[in-house]
Amino acid sequence: MTAPAILPSRGIADRLTALFWRYPRVLLALLLTPPLLWLGVVYLGSLAALLLQSFYSIDEFSGMVKEEFTLKTYGELLRAQNLDIILRTLLMSAAVTVGCALIAFPVAYYAARFARGRWKAVFYLGVMLPLWSSYLVKVYAWKLILAKEGIITWAADALHLSMVLNAVLAIPGIGGNSLSTSWIGTFLVFVYIWLPYMILPMQAALERVPTSMLEASADLGASRSQTFRTVIFPLAMPGIIAGSIFTFSLTMGDYIIPQIVGTSARFIGLAVYQLQGTAGNIPLAAAFAVVPIVIMLIYLTIAKRQGAFDAL
């Protein structure tokens, strides 16, 4: 007579494994609950609180927040000084996005079409390396580079190009006493900081351009410029749109760079920081914070209607 097999007692891990195997929806619920709680409570909850605060107003006599729904705070955004802040931020965000796209395209094209093996690794390392260092350190380093006694001024003097630099700084609207106190300096730092966010999606889009289409274009007699206009650029557009979402939105919300480099004129991010911190006008700060959200929603809607996301 054969003795019955005696199985060792099962531990909690075995029991849970058996439970998840019999009821896979339990495992799915456990995996999805933490991120859904984070998204629903923390992320969307804070966004709802932001929107709620923007419909409150400040009592002009006591300076206290009046928790009564009103559009008065949004009306304050239409004041000349506030419209200037919004317009200035939009122009800088658009300029930074265009500047990043122009610089990123050749780099991304080279990486996508020609870089192989070790050089591909060097490309990723070069693009990602600035992201691994401190944001503040990079901004303050650029402050020193752009200062009147900085490297750029020294190089211009050494190359006898000081007249060119001074002529650029004398341009009304974008110049200043030095690069570190001018709009040009703010633009340069923004482009440097956000450039990787444009290169990477653009390179991913360019890698998806089939070589056969380029060969077909050449076989049909198209010149290099025609191939670029009719094949490469349209197929790279989803990557450009994806990169522009990062560069445009990040520039609109940044408040550190305009505080350190450039003129004393405020951007939306800096206005939000000062209104909620120094002035204590949380409703107006919340209304300012809603502006980039609305602008990006409009931008994404237009991009979607133009089919920019179809190839993503």
Contact (Cβ atoms closer than 8 angstroms) between residue 193 and residue 139: yes
Q: Give me the pLDDT at residue 67, please.
A: 82
Q: Report yes or no on 2 lying in a domain.
A: no
Q: Give me the pLDDT at residue 10, please.
A: 67
Q: Give me the pLDDT at residue 188, please.
A: 94
Map tokens 């265009």 to a residue.
98
Closest to 289 (Cα-Cα) out of 275, 268, 274: 268
Q: Report yes or no on 67 lying in a domain.
A: no
Q: Which two tokens stand for residue 118?
A: 């070790």
pLDDT tens-digit profile, the chain (312 residues): 555 566 566 678 888 888 888 888 888 898 999 888 888 888 888 888 888 888 988 887 777 888 888 888 899 888 999 999 999 999 999 999 999 999 999 999 998 888 888 888 888 888 888 888 888 999 999 999 998 888 888 998 888 888 888 888 888 878 888 888 889 999 999 999 999 999 998 998 888 888 888 888 888 888 888 888 888 888 888 888 889 989 999 999 898 999 999 888 889 988 888 888 777 788 998 999 899 889 989 988 887 776 666 655
Report the alpha-carbon distance of residue 117 to residue 94 in Å, rounded. 35
Report the alpha-carbon distance of residue 285 to residue 300 in Å, rounded. 24
Domain containing residue 173:
80-306
Q: How far is CA 47 from CA 179, 231, 277, 294, in A?
A: 37, 41, 19, 13
Q: Give me the pLDDT at residue 19, please.
A: 83
Q: Report yes or no on 239 lying in a domain.
A: yes
Q: Report yes or no on 118 lying in a domain.
A: yes
Total number of domains constituting the chain: 1
Contact (Cβ atoms closer than 8 angstroms) between residue 261 and residue 189: yes
Report the alpha-carbon distance of residue 297 to residue 303 in Å, rounded. 10
Q: Give me the pLDDT at residue 105, please.
A: 92
Q: Report yes or no on 3 lying in a domain.
A: no
Q: Give me the pLDDT at residue 308, please.
A: 64
Q: Report yes or no on 53 lying in a domain.
A: no
Q: Report yes or no on 63 lying in a domain.
A: no
Q: Report yes or no on 17 lying in a domain.
A: no
**Which CATH number goes with the domain that contains 208?**
1.10.3720.10
* pTM more than 0.75: yes
Is the sign of the CA dihedral 54, 83, 294, 72 positive or negative?
positive
